[in-house]
Amino acid sequence: MKKAKKQKLFVMKFGGSSVADAEKIKRVARRVHDKQSRGIKVVVVVSAPGDMTDDLLEMADGVSKNPPERELDMLLATGEQVSIALLSMAIQDLGSDAVSLTGPQAGIYADHAHTKARITKIAPSKIHDELKKGKVVIVAGFQGLNPNQDITTLGRGGSDLTAVALAAALKADACEIYTDVKGVFTTDPRVEPEASKVDRISYDEMLELAGAGSQVMQARSIEVAKKYGVDIHVRSTFSEDEGTWIVREVEGMEDVVVSGVAFDKNQAKLSAVEIPDRPGIAAKIFGALADIHVNVDMIIQSAAQDGMNDISFTVARADLKKAVPVVDQVSRELGGQGALVDEKIAKVAVVGVGMKSHAGVAARMFRALAGQNINIEMISTSEIKVSCVVKESDCQKAVQVLHKTFGLSRKPK
Amino acid sequence: MKKAKKQKLFVMKFGGSSVADAEKIKRVARRVHDKQSRGIKVVVVVSAPGDMTDDLLEMADGVSKNPPERELDMLLATGEQVSIALLSMAIQDLGSDAVSLTGPQAGIYADHAHTKARITKIAPSKIHDELKKGKVVIVAGFQGLNPNQDITTLGRGGSDLTAVALAAALKADACEIYTDVKGVFTTDPRVEPEASKVDRISYDEMLELAGAGSQVMQARSIEVAKKYGVDIHVRSTFSEDEGTWIVREVEGMEDVVVSGVAFDKNQAKLSAVEIPDRPGIAAKIFGALADIHVNVDMIIQSAAQDGMNDISFTVARADLKKAVPVVDQVSRELGGQGALVDEKIAKVAVVGVGMKSHAGVAARMFRALAGQNINIEMISTSEIKVSCVVKESDCQKAVQVLHKTFGLSRKPK
């Protein structure tokens, strides 16, 4: 007896710009219909259309000085609900059977943190039932049901997270993230025109790239993909070409020393100046910042002179307003000179699993920057990444020289 | 021991025009906040803001030639969800605690008829819980959950229905229907400037008025109110004045012979001409119309002449397109001359529980119309209503003379 070949299952995720108007929705519908016509089971995840989320937020601001988060979630969840209904209509219009499901209907459970909830569980029996009936299942991204039975949203990058988590729960063959770029690039093509698309990249590299400000996918989605071994395919909504596969590290990947150059201009440097050099100082400062939910990234403590010390670190620029007074106060309480701020910085990083086996990456990086007279203000390193803080005005020059230095301008094998 | 006075509970329903923009939503919020501040428990039912339902329907038409009803309901339900979230924000901004609930969250269960479902059950435990916590509970009108766990909408007048059904299930002290008119009028003030507001009217009178084209409330909501004895207060969103109470018939109501004059210009007359006069003819014609879901209203069968007969009846003009070919075919199959159509008609009716005890209402009506040279084409009567079909061009004159004849121009006691 011949064993029936198991039908493949794909999760396809489309962002808000892909469903911004009727024509775009119809194009997505054709893409989904084509996939299903090739005998593949399809679960689609969509975001709210175009600017709808912003429009809804504006409406909220119109009626309330401080909109309660539960109600914001109730409001924002309508955006994805509009998308799934319209996409289901467009797909059915092409002759595929389809059904739309809100996050709660799809069995996506989340925690209590309104506007930035985490997915706690996926119970996909409804999705399985509908797939068995031969339907395309269209799920609202960005939303779930919390233990109060309230609708909650998953925060930035939430639709990617929905897609990856569903792919994991459904044991999908792949999770396709459709976007308006062709994939993951060696660096931002607007900064370095010779930037090239990466064919395959490991979760860890992608995590380091995301953390360093690369905008293709949020770190939280990649973490989930890594945990459950979900193969992600980032590709263009507007082309049939292969994009970038984000996958488990495999042999051969390390042949490429550096996979990409990332940069982040949304950071600022904060320093607590001339504070006494004694144990517990750092804990005081960073404890106070943790209390107000400010994440600190790179940290440098200068060598003590005359029993005095400077501590510098980077925070997101958006957090500066609440971070500065706290650092200033703690610093003065410790007998220091208060806080110094430098907003005109950028973080530049080279990333690659190849670093683990290739020595001297950091040295090559520093030499390349020095060759362009770029001063390095802070340095941090991980197993697969070296980051430097430079002047914001040096950022582009730094990215370009590093891109060239590590041979990224030609397509890596 | 003194017994605590039981807290009153009101259901307040606001239509789409009352929540069309931020200012209007804030005004509704103040109204709700004021009510709660007087120690009354409040459940609010709202429709989708302004033209949102039309906008959503247009979006559906943009992506599908024939949008599936399940997905239409998924789409349309977002309208009320936007309203409840925004209204909850606005109410909380005034200092009242509030919580928004979709129809399914509020425990409103409906049948399978997408886009025009009936409410099958209300399980208000969640509403009770939130009321006990001192919250204003804001429920999305027009929607419920069907046995498939799908969102479904309740069709025209669905938000009124939600409000009345909730008032019944919660045993509310009253159901306030806020609208852009001051209440129920003796007739349409645009047709008869002397029309006056009715203070109290019985369910049955209101049902007859609704059936005759009066637009304040749909018959289905009044039927539910009558069944469960819900006192309805129709009143203006823009004024604190009392509106019209729709209540169980009480003594004294019959002192007013006629409560109102209704008219309906959305009817058309259809006739099957010269068909043989034999048993079963009417059943054939009206059976065929029932099969295509066309409701027939007034029916007249002329006296047989030479074994031949005419049958005339009224249908909604919107149904003409599908009704005519069916009537034409059945008529010819029966050996008749086919269908005759007259779209230029209007239905005019006088309504009042007083008719039960006051003889001669119909005669006074016919005399008044004859006095104006208005020809009566069809007549039908019920216990509390007399309806006549007249030429559309005679409609205004007919309404005015009847309004005067039955003494409605002064405020009825």
CA-to-CA dists, residue B205 to A124, B19, B184, B261, B390, angstroms: 52, 30, 11, 11, 22
Mutate to test the interface with B, among A89, A139, A151 (most CBs of B within 10 A): A89
Q: Do A89 and B68 touch (CB under 8 A)?
A: yes
Contacts of A87 in chain B (CB under 8 A): 63
Q: Which residue of B has its CA nearest to A94?
A: B64
Q: Do B78 and A74 touch (CB under 8 A)?
A: no
Contacts of A279 (CB under 8 A, 6+ apart): none
**Partner residue opposite B92 with nearest CB, options A64, A92, A149:** A64
Q: Which residue of B has its CA nearest to A71?
A: B85
Shortest distance between the Cα of B207 and any Cα of chain A, in A, equals 36
> What residues in chain B have per-residue pLDDT under 50?
412-413
CA–CA distance, A63 with B26 (Å, rounded to integer):
6
Structural domain total, chain B:
1
Q: Would residue B262 count as lying in a domain?
A: no
For the stretch A128-160, what's the b/e string if a residue is b when 16 or more beta carbons lie within 10 angstroms of its beta carbon?
A: eebbeeebbbbbbbbbbbbeeebbbbbbebbbb
Size of interface A-B (CB pairs under 8 A): 112
Q: Do B86 and A22 touch (CB under 8 A)?
A: no
CA–CA distance, B261 with B257 (Å, rounded to integer):
12
**Partner residue opposite B71 with nearest CB, options A59, A66, A85:** A85
**Partner residue opposite A105 with nearest CB, options B64, B71, B149:** B149
Q: Do A63 and B92 touch (CB under 8 A)?
A: no
SS3 B284: helix
Instruction: Of B228, B337, B204, give the one whose Cα is nearest residue B276.
Output: B337
Shortest distance between the Cα of B19 and any Cα of chain A, in A, equals 11
Task: Tell me whether 0.90 is exceeded by the ipTM.
Answer: no
Full DSSP string of B233-264:
EEEETT--S--EEEE---TTGGGSS--EEEEE
CA–CA distance, A202 with A225 (Å, rounded to integer):
11
Q: Would residue A111 count as lying in a domain?
A: yes
Q: Do A100 and B59 touch (CB under 8 A)?
A: no
**Partner residue opposite A71 with nearest CB, options B63, B72, B100:** B100
Shortest distance between the Cα of A273 and any Cα of chain B, in A, equals 43
Q: Would residue B109 count as lying in a domain?
A: yes
Token duo for residue B108: 């409103």
Q: Would residue A17 count as lying in a domain?
A: yes
Q: Would residue B63 count as lying in a domain?
A: yes
Mutate to test the interface with A, among B58, B63, B149 (most CBs of A within 10 A): B63
Shortest distance between the Cα of A88 and any Cα of chain B, in A, equals 7
Q: Do B70 and A105 touch (CB under 8 A)?
A: no
Instruction: Of A174, A144, A161, give the one whose Cα is nearest residue A41.
Output: A174
Q: Would residue A69 count as lying in a domain?
A: yes
Residues forming beta bridges with residue B233, ordered by sequence position: B176, B245
Q: Which residue of B has its CA nearest to A79?
A: B78
Shortest distance between the Cα of A383 and any Cα of chain B, in A, equals 47
Q: Would residue B246 count as lying in a domain?
A: no
Q: Which residue of A has its CA nearest to B130?
A: A148
pTM, 2 dp = 0.85
Instruction: Of A260, A340, A42, give the one whose Cα is nearest residue A163.
Output: A42
Q: Which residue of A has its CA nearest to B28?
A: A63
Q: Do A85 and B26 touch (CB under 8 A)?
A: no
Check if the beta carbon of residue B41 is closer than 8 Å to that of residue B7. Answer: yes
3-state secondary structure chain A: CCCCCCCCEEEEEECHHHHCCHHHHHHHHHHHHHHHHCCCEEEEEECCCCCHHHHHHHHHHHHCCCCCHHHHHHHHHHHHHHHHHHHHHHHHHCCCCEEEECCCCCCEEECCCCCCCCEEEECCHHHHHHHHCCCEEEEECCEEECCCCCEEECCCCHHHHHHHHHHHHCCCCEEEEEECCCCCECCCCCCCCCCCECCEEEHHHHHHHHHCCCCCCCHHHHHHHHHHCCCEEEEECCCCCCCEEEECCCCCHHHCCCCEEEEECCEEEEEEEEEECCCCHHHHHHHHHHHCCCCEEEEEECCCECCEEEEEEEEEHHHHHHHHHHHHHHHHHCCCCCEEEECCEEEEEEECHHHHCCCCHHHHHHHHHHHCCCCCCEEEEECCEEEEEEEHHHHHHHHHHHHHHCCCCCCCC
Contacts of B56 in chain A (CB under 8 A): 82
CA–CA distance, A294 with A287 (Å, rounded to integer):
10
> What residues in chain A have per-residue pLDDT under 70?
1-4, 211-214, 410-413
At B74, which amino acid appears? M
Shortest distance between the Cα of B10 and any Cα of chain A, in A, equals 23
**Partner residue opposite B63 with nearest CB, options A26, A71, A81:** A26
Instruction: State the sign of the Cα–Cα–Cα–Cα dihedral B214, B195, B11, A60.
Output: positive
Q: Which residue of A has its CA nearest to B95?
A: A64
Tens digit of each residue's pLDDT (9 = 90 or more) over A259-273? 999 999 999 999 988
**Partner residue opposite B89 with nearest CB, options A67, A77, A86:** A67
The two beta strands, B260-264 and B345-351, are: antiparallel
Contacts of B89 in chain A (CB under 8 A): 60, 63-64, 67-68, 71-72, 75
Contacts of A294 (CB under 8 A, 6+ apart): A315, A316, A319, A322, A323, A326
Tens digit of each residue's pLDDT (9 = 90 or more) over A138-178? 999 999 999 999 999 998 889 999 999 999 999 999 999 99
Range of the domain at B107: 9-180
The two beta strands, B174-179 and B200-202, are: unpaired
Q: Do A85 and B75 touch (CB under 8 A)?
A: yes
Shortest distance between the Cα of B8 and any Cα of chain A, in A, equals 26
| pLDDT number for residue A299 | 87
Burial of B85 (0-12, 13-18, 19+ CB in 10 A): buried
**Partner residue opposite B25 with nearest CB, options A63, A72, A77:** A63
Q: Would residue A15 count as lying in a domain?
A: yes
Shortest distance between the Cα of A28 and any Cα of chain B, in A, equals 11
CATH number at residue A123: 3.40.1160.10
| pLDDT number for residue B212 | 63
Contacts of B86 in chain A (CB under 8 A): 59-60, 63, 71, 75
Numbered residues of chain A with Cβ closer than 8 Å to any chain B Cβ: 21-22, 25-26, 29, 56, 59-60, 62-68, 70-72, 74-75, 77-78, 81-82, 84-90, 92-93, 99-100, 102, 105, 126, 149
| pLDDT number for residue A411 | 53
- CA angle A82/A88/A91 to nearest 5° reads 140
**Partner residue opposite A85 with nearest CB, options B74, B88, B93:** B74
CA–CA distance, B229 with B253 (Å, rounded to integer):
17
